[in-house]
Chain A
Amino acid sequence: MPEPPVQDEQAVPLGQRLFDNVFLLLIAGIVIMAVIYTGWGLWEIMTLPPATLP
């Protein structure tokens, strides 16, 4: 079987290289969730003023 052609790293478009970077995607996924959902959510709860007793 002939060897498959080696893809030139420089010829790969930037978007494809970003999409192929599994660990970049992993970090991006964790950071967005941690900031928008978890971090912001925690801040909302922690800064909630306690209700005054009647």
Chain B
Amino acid sequence: MSATDFRTCPVTALKVHRPAEALVKVNAVVAVVSLLIGAIAAVLLVLTRWQAVHLLPAEWFYRILGVHGMSMLIFFIIFYEMAVLHFASTALINARIVAPKLGWAAFALMLGGATLVEVMMWTGKADVLFTSYVPLKADPLYYFGIILFAVGALLVCGIFFANLVVAKREKTYTGSLPLVVYGAVTAAIIAVITLLHGAAIYIPTFLWSLGLMEVDPQIYRMIWWALGHSSQQINVAAMVAIWYMLGALTIGAVVLNEKISRSAFVLYILFISMASAHHLLVDPGMGSAWKIVNTSYFMYMAVLASMIHGFTVPAGMELGQRLRGIGTGMFGWLRQAPWGDPGFSSLVFSVVVFGFVGGITGVTIGTEQINIIVHNTLRVPGHFHATVVSGTAMAFMGATYYLIPLVFQRKVAFWGLAKIQPYLFAGGMFIFVMAMTFAGTFGVPRRHWDISFSQAPFDVAFNPAVDVLLAFVALGGIIAATGAFIFVAIAVKSVFFGEPIGTLVPGVAVAGLPQGITNPPKHVADVDRRNEELHAPGRGFLGPAPGTMVLVFIFLAAFIVYFFVNWKVLSFVWKIG
């Protein structure tokens, strides 16, 4: 290691280890390519589920559904998370990557595995959907590709922990890890739990596909979901870490209480992976005690954690704004926020849709009794598109608008488009998610090529409103996919053909650079006096962040109404008398 291995970031003054930075770049680029593949697949899918268009034949619908699931839920998200892990364990604590060659080997394994899986799926040798439930059998190379990918990701987690140990020994930071890095630690730990379960199920399934052993379908489902669902919990932790980072970068958000935020991350580590049991709530092989303990008593600890972050992130943003004297009244801090900064707008949309839509629907449909009216309907993908796409993908896009200048040292291309891209993506996804959720309420099944059953000997009549709702699914999906394509175009142009950021003059706006970079939020001189005023007892029970408190009460009211409406709907299933 030499001093030339490091560069100093002109914006944050952080020491950036170049070998780690290279790995951040390649992982982020592959993540964006995966997003492109997944978004193309998404357009084909929504145009098929829209009954009036019904684009793909059945075989290709299910094939593309598998491609969409793997490209988005696994490759896009996990490659991006690997970039986050490399970034958080080096740049954010002025540290170095301890094993860069191993990092490249891990990347090669992941890339090779992902390519193998894509080839198997596109060539029709793995028409087993994302879940690949046994006894559906794919080509052995499909399972082998996933194993390669998982081993690579596990190696990156190992490098991440090693970086932290060496950084502590070399005293590149003092005291506790910064909160954003702590969020990355949480993501890495959940990733280890997830990948261990992935190995526990995919290695036997690979051997089964070669005819060397048997795999019990119920055991497969139980262990597979510890991979399939927990992998999305890695996203949650990484997303929340990005929320804290973007809040600080864009409007100088403060951390309300380190203990509270860290406790919430620890609750994730201990309890969030059990949410996997939601997928088995109607499985006859699992008992009620196992289902209820996993999805209720323990899982609610993780729900509590999400609600804590859902409060502390916006409250920290509000307090940061008020400490700098920005905004008056209940929501002035929000009105005067930099809505033209795509990093900020992405952050807000991610928090709001993840919490209000993804969170409320998730907890409700994860209740054992209510799940019976939800299972395998479009309400399920309606829920997880609100969390994984509107929440996680939106946050990752917002972070990218800062990563491009900070890591790639390029201006964001197509700056005008970049400003509206979060609105397009979030707006489209909101239409998509709501339409899907309502269609599911009418009993429309998920993963279904043709709900008109046109060639079947029997008929199922859905409410006519379903046709309109599925058209809105397509409309929202196409708008969101357009937002995703614009994002990909911006990322590719910026990274490969972008203009260098040049010399920055603090306070001078530059097209292509978010305002958090050209004019970083700073505390004012009398910040302590303002802080005392904001925390004065005379401000009443709404405290120093009254706007966020009002939003919290609206959230809780929506939660209560949605929850009890679902119990009421459930009561219609068994009519007595």
Are chains A and B native binding partners rather than an unrelated pairing? yes
- Using a CB–CB cutoff of 8 Å, the interface residues on chain A facing chain B are 4-7, 15-16, 19-20, 22-23, 25-26, 28-30, 32-33, 36-38, 40-42, 44-45, 48
Q: Mark B370-409, 1 if CB is under 8 A from A, else 0.
A: 0000000000000000000000000000000000000000
Which residues of B (163-215) have their CB < 8 Å from a CB of A?
164, 174-177, 185, 189-190, 192-193, 196-197, 200
Number of interface residues of B (CB under 8 A): 38
Instruction: Among B164, B270, B298, point to the contact of A28 (Cβ < 8 A).
Output: B270
- Using a CB–CB cutoff of 8 Å, the interface residues on chain B facing chain A are 161, 164, 174-177, 185, 189-190, 192-193, 196-197, 200, 216, 218-219, 222-223, 226, 259, 262-263, 266, 269-271, 273-274, 276-277, 285-287, 290, 293-294, 298
**Residues A42 and B219 in contact, CB atoms below 8 Å apart:** yes
**Residues B189 and A26 in contact, CB atoms below 8 Å apart:** yes
Residue of B nearest to A18 (CB): B266
**Residues B286 and A4 in contact, CB atoms below 8 Å apart:** no
| C-alpha gap A46/B287 in the complex (Å) | 12
**Residues B196 and A45 in contact, CB atoms below 8 Å apart:** no
CB distance from B150 to the nearest CB of A (A): 16
| C-alpha gap A29/B157 in the complex (Å) | 15
Known A-B contacts A28-B270, A32-B270; A41 and B185 likewise in contact (beta carbons under 8 Å):
no
Q: Which residues of A contact B294 (CB under 8 A)?
A: 36-37
Q: Which of A4, A23, A25, A33 counts the most B-chain CB atoms under 10 A from its CB?
A: A33
**Residues B192 and A44 in contact, CB atoms below 8 Å apart:** no
Known A-B contacts A7-B175, A19-B176, A36-B294; A41 and B286 likewise in contact (beta carbons under 8 Å):
yes
CB distance from B291 to the nearest CB of A (A): 10
Instruction: Among B189, B226, B259, B287, point to the contact of A38 (Cβ < 8 A).
Output: B226
| C-alpha gap A28/B161 in the complex (Å) | 16
**Residues A48 and B223 in contact, CB atoms below 8 Å apart:** no
Q: Which residues of A contact B175 (CB under 8 A)?
A: 7
Q: Which residues of B contact A28 (CB under 8 A)?
A: 269-270
User: What are 27 residue pairs bridging A and B, where the CB atoms are less than 8 Å apart in the complex?
Assistant: A5-B174, A19-B176, A23-B161, A25-B185, A25-B189, A25-B266, A26-B161, A26-B192, A28-B270, A29-B193, A32-B271, A32-B298, A33-B274, A36-B274, A36-B293, A36-B298, A37-B226, A37-B276, A37-B277, A37-B294, A38-B222, A38-B226, A40-B293, A44-B287, A44-B290, A45-B216, A45-B286
